[in-house]
C-alpha cells in the first residue's frame, strides 16, 4: 500500500512539474486600440474581441487614451504576458520601433490594424481599408455633387486633412486630391484661403475642437462678406462634426445660407444623424465587422504557422519595408442609402439614429 501511495505521489508531482512548464496563455492575443473617445475605435475593439473569443482565443484588449507612452506600456505588458500575436492600431505610427523589437525577440507576430506602423522591420502584416480609395470616393462625391464635369464653376472649397502622425491621413489626402486637384488647376474649384498643402490643413490628433477652430478662422477671414462656400473636404467624421458646429454658429443651415457639401468617414452615429438632417453630405462606411473578421482570419493563419491571407504587396511601405497587406473595399453612405447600409445590415438600430 505504501509503495502504491509513493508511486501516486511521484505521478502527481511529475504532472505538476509538467504543468508548470506549460504556458498558460498559449492562445492569448493582444489587441491595442488608440482611444475610447471615438466611437469607431470602441466598435473596432469590441468586434475584434468578440470574434476572436468566438474562435476560442483569449483577448487582452487595451485602450491608450491617445497617449503614446501608455500604448507602449500596454504593449510591453502584452509581451510579458506572452501574447502570441499583437494587433495594433497605433497612436503614433513612428513611435513603436523599440517595443516591436522586443516583440520580435519573443517570436510575437504583429498585425498593424488600420494604421500602418512606420520605421520598423518587425511589422508582419497590415490590415486596413483601401485608404487611397477612401479619399478618391470623397473627391468623387464632391465632383458629382457640384457637377464639376458639366458645370463651368467656379465653386469655392476648403480642404481639411487628418493628423500628420497617422500615415493613413496622407493616403486619404492623396486619394481625394487625385480627383480634386485637376479642377483646382483648371479654376473650376477655387480655394479662397489658398491652404492647399497638407501641412496647412492638417488637424493634429483628428481633434474636433481644432477642426472647429480652423473652420471658424476660415469663415471669418474668407466668407464673412457673403462669399458662398460650396464644399468642404473633411477626411473623417470627427473633423466633420467640428466643421458642422462652426458652420452652424456662423448661421449656415438656412434657405439663404445652406450647408456646403461636407464629406466624412466612419459613419459615427452623430454624423449619420447629421446626414439625415441635411448637415453632412456623406461618410465613408468602413464596416468594422468586415475588418475585424479579416484580422481574425490572419490571426488564425499565424497561429497555425501559416502565412496570413493578403491581397497587396506593393502599396504600403513603412520606411523600412513593404508590409504585406489586406485591403478591404470602402463604400459611402448618405441620406439616400444609409438605411440599407447601416440599419438593414444590423450595424445600427433605427432608434440609435434619431
- For CATH 3.40.50.2300, the residue range(s) in the chain are 26-123+287-329, 131-285
Strands (E) across 149-249 are located at 155-159, 189-190, 231-233
Domain 131-285: CATH superfamily, name plus number: Response regulator (3.40.50.2300)
Residues 6+ apart with CB under 8 A from 275: 281, 282, 283, 333, 334, 335, 338
Dihedral angle sign, alpha carbons of residues 142, 144, 145, 150 = positive
H/E segment holding residue 158: strand 155-159
What is the residue whose three cell numbers read 483646382? 184
Residue with cell 467640428: 242
Q: Distance between CA atoms of 82 and 148, rounded to whole angstroms?
A: 55
- Say what the pTM is: 0.81
φ, ψ for residue 267, nearest 5 deg: 55, 45
pLDDT along the chain (354 residues), means of 10: 47 41 69 91 92 95 96 97 97 94 97 95 96 97 97 95 94 98 97 98 96 98 96 98 98 96 96 98 93 95 95 96 96 97 94 93
For the segment(s) 26-123+287-329, the CATH number from 3.40.50.720, 3.40.50.2300, 3.40.630.30, 3.40.1410.10 is: 3.40.50.2300
Close Cβ partners of 77 (under 8 Å, ≥ 6 residues apart): 62
What is the pLDDT at residue 17? 39
Residues in the chain: 354
pLDDT attached to residue 3: 52
Give me the pLDDT at residue 16, please: 41
Determine the pLDDT at residue 277: 97
Residues near 212 by beta carbon (within 8 Å), at least 6 away in sequence: 242, 243, 245, 246
* C-alpha to C-alpha distance for 279 and 259, rounded to whole angstroms: 6
Tell me the C-alpha distance between 95 and 338, whole Å: 37
Distance CA 258, CA 89 (A): 37
User: Cell digits for 323?
Assistant: 508590409
Any bridge partners for residue 261, and if so which? 231
Amino acid at each position: 500500500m505504501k509503495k502504491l501511495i509513493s508511486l501516486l505521489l511521484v505521478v502527481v508531482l511529475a504532472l505538476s512539474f509538467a504543468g508548470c512548464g506549460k504556458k498558460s496563455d498559449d492562445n492569448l492575443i493582444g489587441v491595442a486600440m488608440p482611444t475610447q473617445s471615438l466611437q469607431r475605435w470602441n466598435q473596432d475593439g469590441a468586434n475584434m474581441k468578440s470574434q476572436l473569443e468566438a474562435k476560442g482565443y483569449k483577448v487582452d484588449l487595451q485602450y491608450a487614451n491617445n497617449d503614446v507612452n501608455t500604448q507602449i506600456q500596454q504593449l510591453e505588458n502584452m509581451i510579458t504576458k506572452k501574447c502570441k500575436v499583437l494587433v495594433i492600431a497605433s497612436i503614433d505610427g513612428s513611435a513603436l520601433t523599440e517595443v516591436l523589437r522586443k516583440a520580435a525577440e519573443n517570436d510575437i507576430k504583429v498585425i498593424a490594424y488600420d494604421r500602418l506602423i512606420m520605421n520598423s522591420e518587425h511589422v508582419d502584416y497590415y490590415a486596413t481599408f483601401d485608404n487611397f480609395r477612401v479619399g478618391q470616393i470623397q473627391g468623387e462625391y464632391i465632383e458629382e455633387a457640384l457637377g464639376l464635369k458639366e458645370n463651368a464653376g467656379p465653386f469655392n472649397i476648403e480642404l481639411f486633412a487628418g493628423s500628420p502622425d497617422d500615415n493613413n491621413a496622407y493616403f486619404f489626402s492623396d486619394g481625394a486630391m487625385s480627383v480634386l486637384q485637376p479642377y483646382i488647376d483648371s479654376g473650376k474649384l477655387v480655394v479662397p484661403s489658398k491652404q492647399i498643402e497638407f501641412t496647412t490643413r492638417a488637424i493634429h490628433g483628428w481633434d474636433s475642437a481644432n477642426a472647429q477652430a480652423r473652420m471658424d478662422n476660415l469663415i471669418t477671414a474668407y466668407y464673412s462678406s457673403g462669399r458662398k462656400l460650396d464644399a468642404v473636404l473633411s477626411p473623417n467624421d470627427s473633423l466633420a462634426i467640428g466643421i458642422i458646429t462652426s458652420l452652424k454658429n456662423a448661421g449656415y443651415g438656412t434657405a439663404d445660407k445652406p450647408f456646403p457639401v461636407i464629406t466624412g468617414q466612419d459613419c459615427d452615429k452623430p454624423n449619420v444623424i447629421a446626414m439625415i438632417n441635411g448637415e453632412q453630405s456623406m461618410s465613408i462606411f468602413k464596416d468594422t465587422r468586415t475588418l475585424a473578421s479579416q484580422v481574425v482570419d490572419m490571426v488564425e493563419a499565424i497561429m497555425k504557422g501559416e502565412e496570413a491571407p493578403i491581397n497587396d504587396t506593393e502599396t504600403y511601405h513603412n520606411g523600412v519595408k513593404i508590409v504585406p497587406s489586406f485591403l478591404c473595399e470602402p463604400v459611402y453612405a448618405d441620406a439616400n442609402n444609409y438605411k440599407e447600409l447601416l440599419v438593414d445590415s444590423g450595424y445600427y438600430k433605427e432608434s440609435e439614429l434619431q
